[in-house]
Structure 1
Amino acid sequence: MDLFDQHLKKIEETQAPLAARMRPRTLDEFVGQDHIIGLGRLLRRAISLDQLSSVIFCGPPGTGKTTLARVIANTTRAHFIAINAVLSGV
Structure 2
Amino acid sequence: MALNPVQIPRAASRHIIKFYIEHKSVLIENASSRCLKTNADRNHLFEVLSNEVKAEFEITLSKKQIKNHYTHAKGKIFEKASKQREREAKERKYRR
Q: Normalized against structure 1, the TM-score is what?
A: 0.29
Taking structure 2 as the reference length, what is the TM-score of the superposition?
A: 0.28
Task: Work out which structure has the larger RCO, using CA pairs closer than 8 Å and 6 or more positions apart in sequence.
Answer: 2
Structure holding more helix per residue: 2
Task: Choose 1 or 2 for highest CA Rg.
Answer: 2
